């Protein structure tokens, strides 16, 4: 692996722990206005000190994030569809040249294994990897799950393994029962998405379960920025990811941080 690729990977997965807290705020690329991301710049500003990486689109990066920030960027480079259409019909939306101009540490693209457009999305991943290899840019493959797919270890294991076989450097997937099987069968690091907003305690447990079963981190969005206490949430998730904080302790930490914040405004 060349120096540039290795260097960029260390910006995404922290070498001190081999783990990462990625903050995902790319939802607008297919959901449009998303609760909590009405003003993405304002949302991410207090969270960035606790994020190892920010995952977002070119448009939001350019319009809402000040270039003096010190957080590595993983740029979503797939899109072109919305929740009103066929999501699997995505294409590549950003050239590698522009991604490099934006000084990204990685690029991300979704694959839709099992959809009628499976082949198209998998070959788009392969093309992106071929191009990214030339410039030493890591590729994060996102295993998107269609409405009719079951989020179980068999399906997610299949999708993750195929992404890794095509050469993805990191794979993002969902947590599921028997998650360790998904990890065992995937030769590259896995991060988990948080999914729809759930109660904070459950999201913290989800994070812990994923890490303790082999994920190298989270690429989490709604369960952080839609929380009433987003800073408390990301700080606690960070302790789980980088310091293996157990769920009970994590819940105490979250409540303490949330109460401190409330106190500050009392």
> Do 250 and 208 contact (CB within 8 A), yes or no?
yes
Which of 13, 94, 193, 216 touches ligand R5P (CB under 6 A)? 193
Question: Residue 221, interface with ligand R5P (CB under 6 A)?
Answer: yes
Min separation Cβ 263 and ligand R5P, Å: 28
User: Under 8 Å CB-to-CB from 67, ≥6 apart: which residues?
Assistant: none
120 catalytic residue (yes or no): no
Looking at the Cβ atoms of 9 and 24, the one nearer to ligand R5P is: 24
What secondary structure does DSSP assign to 22-54, as a single string?
Answer: EEE--THHHH-S-TT-SSHHHHHTTTGGG-SEE
Residue keyed to tokens 């690091």: 189
Question: Residue 238, interface with ligand R5P (CB under 6 A)?
Answer: no
Contact map string, positions 159 to 188, toward ligand R5P, x by CB under 6 A: ------------------------------
**Using CA atoms, how far apart are residues 108 and 89, in angstroms rounded to an integer?**
16
Which of 8, 27, 169, 229 touches ligand R5P (CB under 6 A)? 27
Question: Residue 220, interface with ligand R5P (CB under 6 A)?
Answer: yes
Question: Residue 79, interface with ligand R5P (CB under 6 A)?
Answer: no
Main-chain phi, psi angles of 142, to 5 degrees: -105, 120
Closest CA relative to residue 23, chosen from 204, 208, 238, 168:
238
Q: Where do contacts with ligand R5P occur on this chain (CB under 6 A)?
A: 24, 26-27, 55, 110, 142, 144, 193-195, 219-223
Which residue numbers are catalytic? 172
């Amino acid at each position: 692996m060349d120096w540039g690729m290795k260097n960029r990977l260390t910006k995404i997965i922290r070498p001190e722990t081999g783990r990462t807290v990625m903050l995902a705020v790319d939802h607008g690329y297919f959901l449009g206005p998303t609760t909590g991301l009405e003003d993405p710049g304002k949302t991410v500003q207090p969270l960035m000190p606790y994020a190892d990486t920010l995952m977002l689109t070119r448009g939001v990066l350019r319009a809402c994030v000040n270039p003096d920030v010190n957080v590595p960027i993983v740029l979503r480079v797939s899109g072109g569809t919305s929740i009103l259409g066929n999501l699997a019909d995505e294409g590549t939306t950003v050239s590698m040249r522009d991604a490099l101009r934006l000084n990204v540490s990685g690029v991300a693209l979704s694959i839709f294994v099992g959809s009628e457009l499976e082949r198209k999305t998998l070959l788009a991943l392969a093309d992106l990897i071929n191009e990214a290899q030339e410039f030493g840019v890591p590729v994060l493959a996102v295993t998107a799950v269609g409405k009719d797919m079951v989020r179980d270890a068999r399906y997610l294991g299949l999708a993750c393994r195929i992404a890794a076989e095509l050469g993805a450097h990191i794979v993002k997937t969902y947590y599921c029962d028997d998650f360790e099987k998904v990890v065992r069968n995937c030769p590259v690091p896995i991060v988990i998405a948080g999914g729809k907003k759930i109660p904070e305690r459950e999201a913290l447990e989800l994070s812990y379960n994923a890490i303790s079963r082999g994920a190298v981190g989270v690429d989490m969005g709604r369960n952080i920025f839609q929380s009433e206490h987003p800073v408390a949430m990301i700080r606690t998730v960070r302790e789980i990811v980088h310091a293996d904080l157990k769920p009970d302790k994590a819940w105490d930490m979250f409540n303490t941080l949330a109460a401190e914040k409330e106190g500050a405004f009392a």
